């Protein structure tokens, strides 16, 4: 199928926009330059795309339809920020003024959310703030987060799934203060990896057309994409690399590992560095979660290739169709390849001292709130209710620590994400029955498998106003597995 017929077909889907079709494809400008090359004809893959870096003092981020062309002649209808997939990497430091304008060049409404940043409510990208085609939205706040790996993506109600899948996502890095904390690989040896999965249609083009079962389990693909390219490769020297990894897929949980079984040295999580490094063979990462790991290629033979992949895994649960099944979750997937160059081996230097985490908030006498997540008969709900834009579900007093209990009442995984701050995981009961090593630091998203209950400590200290708690499975979120809470 050539590109023209693909676009024609997508255009025909306009009438079913309400069911989540890719209506934005129709706005494709057929003459745009390719953004991301497809798999090359010799089958050797494409180099890992590296988005440019942008400063946030006065940046304009323009979301527009774009097109990419596969090496096999297939076109990909897609969306980009400033013509780039992923969007430009924003690098800031604590205390910086963050002044960014979103311009909506799409054919539908959108709004931007800075995932993991503590910002005033009006800068948080709540869907009630979404702006229509041609309009813009100005963000102006001071960065107050710890150094860490954050990201940005759209948040319009009911359309977050298709917009993120289309390519609207980017990294937002709060950099460490030089000279403080551990010594980690940097420069060319710091690599940002946005992991996604796409479903390829005729001609190798990603498609987004959720059917009833996708709306239950979330939309999952059959092909691993990293930074917008299918199974790309990166040339590496025989040295240590810092990989900041984001699961930016709509619904897929990855059980990440290196194909040669060499360990990840975990140094950070959602909200920044941990207090000590931790060696791990694999990490089960849900949509929205990040890990910061060091991998050491100094012992890898020159000329060898090592894959970053998601290992197959089995989910417990699956209680029949009515309750929804985890679908395709757990299939093995190759994500990218590291090709080791013939360079002298540079042994991994010592990290030096990590800084301690803050003490947990004092929860003596703290209030406990329960949020249960259910997926039944096509309905995704929190405490039995689906999202309503103007209904405030809970009010939380500023400055009072609380214990929040997340209960999974369904057979499928739910990555639970909180806006407005970070939490600390206190316990997990049922299912895996433990706090995993990558859950020991500051988190804004935590994965709940079937049967699991997770308790977290939350404390809102800075900003009053309306924020969100939701499942980061984007089809669940779009279907209403989201609640408003107001910090008062
Ligand atoms: Cu990354 Cu409310 O989302
Ligand atoms: Cu968020
Ligand atoms: Cu969910």
What is the 8-class DSSP label of residue 354? P
Q: How far apart are CA 335 and CA 310, in angstroms?
A: 7
Q: Which atom of ligand 1 is nearest to the CA of 153?
A: 1
Q: Which atom of ligand 1 is nearest to the CA of 468?
A: 2
Confirm or reject: Cβ of 153 under 6 Å from ligand 1.
yes
At residue 78, the pLDDT reads 87
- Cα of 467 from ligand 2 centre, angstroms: 9
Displacement of CA 325 from its chain's centroid (Å): 23
Q: What stretches in the chain show pLDDT beneath 70?
A: 1-44, 67-77, 316-327
The total number of residues written for the chain in this structure: 488
Tokens of residue 35, six digits: 């953004």
At residue 326, the pLDDT reads 63
Classify residue 192 as exposed, middle or buried by CB count within 10 Å of its CB (0-12, 13-18, 19+).
buried
- Cα of 462 from ligand 2 centre, angstroms: 16
- Name which residue sits closest to atom 3 of ligand 1, judged by CA: 115
- Cα of 126 from ligand 1 centre, angstroms: 9
Task: Find the angle CA(255)-CA(259)-CA(265) to the nearest 5 degrees.
Answer: 70
- Cα of 243 from ligand 3 centre, angstroms: 27
At residue 179, the pLDDT reads 85
- Cα of 297 from ligand 1 centre, angstroms: 34
User: Where are the strands (E) in 325-432, listed by range?
Assistant: 333-340, 367-376, 379-382, 394-396, 402-408, 414-418, 423-429
Task: Find the angle CA(279)-CA(251)-CA(229) to the nearest 5 degrees.
Answer: 75
Give residues whose Cβ lies within 5 Å of ion ligand 3: 414, 471, 473, 476
Confirm or reject: Cβ of 204 under 6 Å from ligand 1.
no
| Edge-first strand listing for the sheet containing 465-471 | 394-396, 482-487, 465-471, 414-418, 445-448
Instruction: Give the other-Cβ count within 10 Å of 59's Cβ.
Output: 16
- Cα of 417 from ligand 1 centre, angstroms: 7
At residue 371, the pLDDT reads 98
Confirm or reject: Cβ of 468 under 6 Å from ligand 1.
yes
- Ligand with smallest separation from the Cα of 411: 3
DSSP string, 358-385: PPPPP-TT-EEEEEEEEEETTEEEETTB
Confirm or reject: Cβ of 164 under 6 Å from ligand 1.
no
**What pLDDT, in 10s, does the model give residues 4-56?**
332 222 322 222 222 333 322 223 333 333 344 444 445 568 999 999 999 99
Looking up tokens 């400055």 gives 399
- Ligand with smallest separation from the Cα of 152: 1
Classify residue 131 as exposed, middle or buried by CB count within 10 Å of its CB (0-12, 13-18, 19+).
middle
- Cα of 447 from ligand 3 centre, angstroms: 9
Confirm or reject: Cβ of 417 under 6 Å from ligand 1.
yes
At residue 43, the pLDDT reads 58
Q: Which atom of ligand 1 is nearest to the CA of 482?
A: 2
At residue 325, the pLDDT reads 55
* Residues 298/239, Cβ–Cβ less than 8 Å: yes
Q: How far apart are CA 391 and CA 253, in angstroms?
A: 30
> Closest by alpha carbon to 240, among 290, 300, 309, 195?
300
Q: Which atom of ligand 1 is nearest to the CA of 151?
A: 1
Instruction: Give the other-Cβ count within 10 Å of 75's Cβ.
Output: 25
Confirm or reject: Cβ of 470 under 6 Å from ligand 1.
yes
- Name which residue sits closest to atom 1 of ligand 1, judged by CA: 115
Pairing relation of β-strands 190-200 and 240-247?
A: parallel
* Residues 288/415, Cβ–Cβ less than 8 Å: yes
**What pLDDT, in 10s, does the model give residues 209-235?**
999 999 999 999 999 999 999 999 999
- Ligand with smallest separation from the Cα of 155: 1
- Cα of 165 from ligand 3 centre, angstroms: 16
Confirm or reject: Cβ of 113 under 6 Å from ligand 1.
yes
Confirm or reject: Cβ of 157 under 6 Å from ligand 1.
no
With b for 16 or more beta-carbon neighbours within 10 A and e for fewer, the 454-488 pattern comes to bbbbbbbeebebbbbbbbbbbbbbbbbbbbbbebe
**What pLDDT, in 10s, does the model give residues 152-173?**
999 999 999 999 999 999 999 9
Q: How far apart are CA 87 and CA 53, in angstroms?
A: 9
Phi, psi of 126, rounded to the nearest 5 degrees: -55, 140
Confirm or reject: Cβ of 476 under 6 Å from ligand 1.
no
């Amino acid at each position: 199928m050539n590109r023209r017929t693909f676009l024609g077909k997508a255009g025909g889907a306009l009438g079913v926009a309400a069911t989540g079709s890719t209506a934005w494809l129709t706005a494709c400008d057929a003459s745009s330059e390719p953004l991301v090359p497809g798999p090359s004809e010799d089958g050797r893959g494409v180099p890992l795309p590296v988005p440019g870096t942008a400063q946030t003092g006065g940046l304009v981020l323009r979301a527009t339809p774009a097109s990419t062309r596969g090496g096999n002649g297939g076109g990909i209808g897609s969306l980009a920020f400033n013509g780039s997939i992923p969007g430009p990497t924003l690098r800031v430091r604590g205390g910086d003024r963050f002044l960014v304008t979103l311009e909506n060049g799409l054919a539908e409404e959108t709004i931007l959310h800075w995932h993991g940043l503590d910002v005033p409510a009006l800068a948080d990208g709540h869907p009630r703030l979404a702006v229509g085609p041609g309009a813009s939205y100005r963000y102006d706040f001071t960065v107050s987060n710890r150094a860490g790996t954050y990201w940005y993506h759209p948040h319009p109600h009911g359309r977050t799934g298709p917009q993120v899948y289309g390519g609207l996502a980017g990294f937002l890095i709060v950099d460490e203060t030089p000279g403080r904390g551990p010594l980690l690989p940097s420069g060319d040896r710091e690599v940002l990896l946005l992991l996604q999965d796409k479903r390829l249609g005729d001609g190798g083009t990603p498609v987004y057309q959720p059917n009833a079962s996708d709306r239950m389990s979330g939309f999952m693909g059959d092909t691993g994409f990293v930074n917008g390219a299918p199974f790309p490769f990166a040339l590496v020297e025989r040295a240590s690399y810092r990989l900041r990894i984001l699961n930016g897929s709509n619904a897929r949980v990855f059980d990440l590992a290196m194909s040669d079984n060499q360990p990840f040295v975990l140094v950070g999580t959602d909200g920044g560095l941990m207090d000590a490094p931790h060696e791990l063979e694999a990490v089960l990462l849900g949509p929205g979660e990040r890990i910061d790991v060091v991998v050491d290629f100094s012992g890898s033979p020159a000329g060898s290739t090592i894959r970053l992949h998601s290992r197959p895994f089995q989910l417990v649960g699956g209680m029949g169709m009515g309750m929804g099944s985890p679908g395709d979750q757990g299939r093995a997937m190759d994500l990218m390849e590291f090709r080791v160059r013939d360079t002298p081996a540079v042994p991994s230097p010592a990290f030096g001292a990590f800084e301690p985490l803050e003490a947990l908030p004092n929860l003596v006498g703290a209030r406990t709130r329960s949020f249960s997540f259910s997926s039944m008969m096509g309905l995704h709900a929190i405490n039995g209710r689906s999202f309503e834009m103007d209904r405030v579900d809970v009010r939380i007093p500023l400055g009072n620590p609380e214990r929040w209990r997340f209960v999974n009442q369904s057979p499928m995984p739910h990555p639970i994400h909180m806006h407005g701050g970070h939490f600390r995981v206190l316990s997990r009961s049922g299912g895996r029955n433990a706090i995993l090593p990558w859950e020991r630091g500051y988190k804004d998203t935590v994965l709940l498998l079937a049967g699991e209950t997770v308790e977290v400590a939350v404390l809102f200290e800075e900003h009053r106003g309306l924020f969100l708690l939701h499942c980061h499975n984007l089809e669940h979120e779009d279907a209403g597995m989201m609640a408003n809470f107001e910090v008062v």
